[in-house]
Amino acid sequence: MTISSIFQPRPENPDVGVWGVPTSSVNWCESDYTISFYIAEFFNSCSSLCMVAFGLLGQWSLSYLSKNVNRTPRPRRKDPEIYDPLLENPGLLGVNRVWLTWFALQIVGWGSVAFHGSLQWWSQAFDEVPMVWTAILHLSSGLVGRYDPFPLATASQNAQGGWAKTYLVPSLRRTSSGEPYIPIISATFLIHAVTCSLLVTLFRGPSQFLVFHILFGSVELAGFFLTYTISKEASDPSHPRGVGYIKDCHSEAVFKSLQQRHMKDVGTLHRRGLWFYVTAIAIWSTDLNFCDFVSNIPIIYPWFGAEGLQWMETTFNPQGHAWWHLFVSIGFYHLGILVTYDRMLAAYRTFWGGVERGEPGCLDLLNEDRVKGRLVAQKGDIPVIEWIGGWVPVVAMWREHRRT
């Protein structure tokens, strides 16, 4: 197979592969069935696995929530086991919803593999419907942690509900007067997701493409605004949603260090995530709207044939949509970690505030029957961003080293 066969222009008749004539509302710029008779868009299909990989990476990153990444000089003995009431009740932290967001991203990846591999309307729905749900899970995860009141119910009340409550809506809540709390944000987004799913699957042709991008784009823009808000608030050391709630728990030097870490890491996450995401969108738009140009970039390359070394001339397609899959996955991962971090920080800030106010639901999580001899987490323990290898961000815990 020569390079010219890989980067040849799109054939006029797409009915050349096992899946037949494309029935999707859009056919991307990659030549159909050029590499394989069984895969319509080879590069686009294979690159979709980037989303699967970053979804798995996001789920793996949740394991760091139980790790202490404090690098100050440690005691000779290993840190004792800590009872953290929020880590013991991950539903209060929203870990289930975050896990589900990363799982939804994996479904998007497999749907994209099917879509680009077959270019059929049903596989397009398998790609686009999970995209809507993933964006909504990402956005609602941040909004619920910020604007829904913290659970005031007792632990026994929080244990009720089943899988639907655990994964789709926040934990059972009671208002300060004891009345049941209605999860308005979650319910609204659930209705929106179901409506989008129906519209995306019922429409056909150009109208389907337009409807999907309006519905998905609106949620995407809202997500951008949320991450901008988080970054803007982090740049203000005195903002009440920052790390100021632990100021009295540490020396001034330690608090300043944690505050600077918070501001720096949030800014880095936002800038990197936004840069990769905007770059991906620019590549996606160029590949979609200027296909005739990007698929016919001239290139000259050496080729050894029967007559020896020859210089061959062909056209080159940089496979922009495949690069979109990679860049948007990196961007979404960074912004997803940013929203996860903000949600964890909000949970700890609200929980310890509830303990100080004597709220029953918070105090119930600290009773001796639950601690079982372990040292209890302290208000000064705080979620932080940890950079694996200096490049891969995860959310971990920073705790002062303690001895039994």
Exposure of 379 by Cβ count < 10 A (0-12 exposed, 13-18 middle, 19+ buried)? middle
Residue with tokens 């309307």: 121
Q: Which of 182, 174, 179, 175 is nearest to 157 (CA)?
A: 174
Q: Are 339 and 227 in contact (CB under 8 A)?
A: yes
Q: Residue 227: pLDDT above 60?
A: yes
Give the pLDDT confidence score for residue 174 in this predicted structure: 47
Give the pLDDT confidence score for residue 155 in this predicted structure: 41
Q: Which residues contact 193 (CB under 8 A, 6 or more apart)?
A: 132, 133, 136
Which CATH number applies to 3-398: 3.30.420, 1.10.3470, 3.30.1490, 1.20.1070? 1.20.1070
| DSSP at 216 | H
Q: Which residues contact 263 (CB under 8 A, 6 or more apart)?
A: 234, 235, 237
Element (H, E) at 306: none
Give the pLDDT confidence score for residue 304 in this predicted structure: 79
**Quick check: helix, strand or coil at residue 21?**
coil
Tell me the average pLDDT across 135-157. 68
Q: Are 379 and 52 in contact (CB under 8 A)?
A: no
250-291 pLDDT tens trace: 999 999 999 999 999 999 999 999 999 999 999 999 998 888
355-383 pLDDT tens trace: 888 877 778 787 766 677 788 889 999 99
C-alpha dihedral sign at 6, 317, 50, 205: negative
Q: Are 318 and 63 in contact (CB under 8 A)?
A: no
- Range with the lowest mean pLDDT among 107-121, 181-195, 232-246, 281-295? 181-195
Element (H, E) at 386: strand 382-388
Element (H, E) at 176: none
Q: Which residues contact 372 (CB under 8 A, 6 or more apart)?
A: 83
Q: Residue 200: pLDDT above 50?
A: yes
- Range with the lowest mean pLDDT among 11-20, 53-62, 216-225, 259-268? 11-20
Q: Are 62 and 99 in contact (CB under 8 A)?
A: yes
Strand-pairing partners, residue 298, are: 315
Q: At what angle do helices 252-289 and 205-234 cross, to 10 degrees?
A: 160
**Quick check: helix, strand or coil at residue 301?**
strand
Give the pLDDT confidence score for residue 152 in this predicted structure: 40
Q: Are 260 and 283 in contact (CB under 8 A)?
A: no
Task: Report the predicted TM-score, pTM, of the whole model to 2 decimal places.
Answer: 0.86
Domain spans in the chain, listed from the N-terminal domain onward: 3-398
45-78 pLDDT tens trace: 999 999 999 999 999 999 999 899 988 876 667 7
| DSSP at 114 | H
What span, in angstroms and rounded, lies between the C-alpha atoms of 40 and 116?
6
Residue 112 CA, chain-centre distance (Å), reads 17
Give the pLDDT confidence score for residue 12 in this predicted structure: 53
Which residue would you say has higher pLDDT here, 313 or 330? Answer: 330
- Side-chain-side CA neighbours of 111 within 13 Å: the count stands at 20
Q: At what angle do helices 205-234 and 184-202 cross, to 10 degrees?
A: 150
Strands (DSSP E) contained in 188-338 are 297-305, 308-316
Give the pLDDT confidence score for residue 85 in this predicted structure: 87
Q: Residue 5: pLDDT above 70?
A: no
Tell me the average pLDDT across 106-131. 92
Q: Residue 3: pLDDT above 50?
A: no
